[in-house]
Amino acid sequence: MNETRENNSSAQHDNYLNHLKSARTGPAVLKTRLIAFRSRDKKSPIFAFEGSDDKSVYYHWVRRIKPGLRYEPFPCAGKPQAVGLWEMLERDRGELREGIYFFMDRDFDSEGNLIKSGNIFYTDRYSIDNYLVGDDVLDEILKNEFHCHGDPDCRAVVVGIFFRLYNDFIALTKEVNRRLFYSRRLGISIKNGLPDKLGKLVKLGLTEIETAGFSADALVAYEKEPDIHEVAGLEQEFAALDGPTRYRGKFARLFFVQWLNTLAADRNSDAPAVFRERLVNEKVHASRITLDCLAAKSELPSGLAEFLENLPEAA
C-alpha cells in the first residue's frame, strides 16, 4: 500500500513538473519569443526545430547541402510545442509566419496524419536519431576516431559485430516499440514516461546482448489498455515497419553510444578482444564521439535537399 501511495505521489509530482515546463515553453511563449526576435531581425529565415539536438544535427545537414545558407535556429522544446506554434501562426494568418520553416520528426505518424504544408519538413525515418546509427556511420568512426584507416578487413569485422548486435537489439525492443506505436495511433497516454537508460531495455556487452528482463507492458505502461478490436487494424501496419529506420530513434542512439564506448575501451586495451592489434602511440577518445560527430557522418534525410533548395531565401 505504501509503495502504491509513493508511486502515485511520484507520478503527480512528475505531472506537476511537466505542467510547469509546458507553461514555460508552450506555443504562446514561443510566439512571444518569435515576435521579440522579429522585432530585431525581420529578414533572416527562421528554422523551428523540435529541440536542441535537432538544432545541432540539422546544422551539419544544412551546411552539407547549402553551406552559404544563414538562418536563425529556433528550438521549441518538443514536438507538441512546435506543432502548437505552427497551428497558432496559421490561425493568425499574419506576417509573423512568413520566413519561418519547421523541421519535424515523422515518429509513428501515418502519412495521412502529417500536416501538409510547404513550410514543414518531415524526416522519412522515425526521428533524426535513426540517421545517426548505422554501419556507414560506424565505418567512418572506425576510420577516424578509432584509427582503423587503411585496414578495411578490421573494419569489416567490427561492422559485422555491430550489424548482428543491432539486429538483435531491434528484435529485443520490438514489443516496446509496438506499444509506443499503438499509443501514438490510438491517443493513449503513457504513465511514468519512457525508458531513458539503455539498461531498462537490454544488457549490452562488446559482442553480446540480451534482454534486461523488463516487460514491454511495464516499460510502456498505458493509462488504459486498448481492447483487441482497437489494435487489430494496426497490427499489419506495425509489422510492415522497418525497425532500424522506423522504430524509436532515441533507443537506437542509446544503444549505439553505449556500444561505441565499450568498443573504445577494447580498442585502447593492451589485449583487445575485437581488434587484431593494440594501438601504438594513439588513443581512442570516446568523449569525442559526440552528437556533432555522428551528425557529420550520417546520411542525409530523403527530401531535405529539395526542401532547402526550394526556400525563397536559398535562391
pLDDT given at position 314:
61
In a domain, 116, yes or no: no
The whole-number pLDDT of residue 315 equals: 56
- 93 backbone φψ class: left, alpha, beta (φ>0; ψ -120 to 50): left
- For residues 64 and 172, membership in a common domain is answered with no
CB-CB contact of 177 with 247 (8 Å) = yes
Q: What residues form DSSP beta bridges with 101?
A: 47
Q: What integer pLDDT is reported at residue 278 of this predicted model?
A: 84
User: 266 and 137 in one domain?
Assistant: yes
Q: What is the pLDDT of residues 177-198, one digit of tens each?
A: 999 999 999 999 999 899 999 9
User: Same domain for 87 and 225?
Assistant: no
pLDDT in tens, 151-175: 999 999 999 999 999 999 999 999 9
275 and 306 share one domain = no
Q: Give percent above pLDDT 90 in the chain.
A: 85
pLDDT of residue 276: 86
Bridge pairing between strands 46-49 and 100-104 = parallel
Share of the chain above pLDDT 70, in %: 91
Is residue 82 in a domain?
yes
Residues 100 and 154 in one domain: no
Q: Express each pLDDT in 262-311 by its tens digit.
A: 999 999 999 999 998 888 889 999 999 999 999 999 999 999 999 999 99
Three cell numbers, residue 85 = 506554434
Give the residue among 15, 51, 53 at the shortest CA–CA distance from 193.
Answer: 15
Higher pLDDT, 8 or 38: 38
Q: Same domain, yes or no, for 134 and 97?
A: no
pLDDT of residue 14: 52
Could you tell me if 142 and 262 lie in one domain?
Answer: yes
* Domain encompassing residue 149: 130-284
One-letter amino acid identity for 247?
Y
Residue 27, SS3? helix
| Same-domain pairing of 245 and 277 | yes
Is 112 a member of any domain? no
Q: Are residues 140 and 98 in the same domain?
A: no
Q: Quickly count helices (H) and strands (E) in the chain.
A: 14, 8
In a domain, 295, yes or no: no
Asked whether residue 23 carries a pLDDT value surpassing 60, the answer given is no
For residues 44 and 187, membership in a common domain is answered with no
What pLDDT digit, counting tens, does each position of 203-251 carry? 999 999 999 999 999 999 999 999 999 999 899 999 999 999 999 999 9
- Through-space distance between the first and last CA atoms of the chain, rounded to whole angstroms: 65
CA angle 35, 39, 42 (to 5 degrees): 100
* Residues 45-81 pLDDT 10s: 999 999 999 999 999 999 999 999 999 999 999 999 9
What is the number of structural domains in the chain?
2
CA distances from 146 to 66, 283, 286 (A): 29, 8, 9
Task: With cut-offs at 50, 70 and 90, classify the pLDDT of residue 20.
Answer: very low
Q: Round to whole Å and give the CA distance between 69 and 256.
A: 31
d(CA 147, CA 284): 8
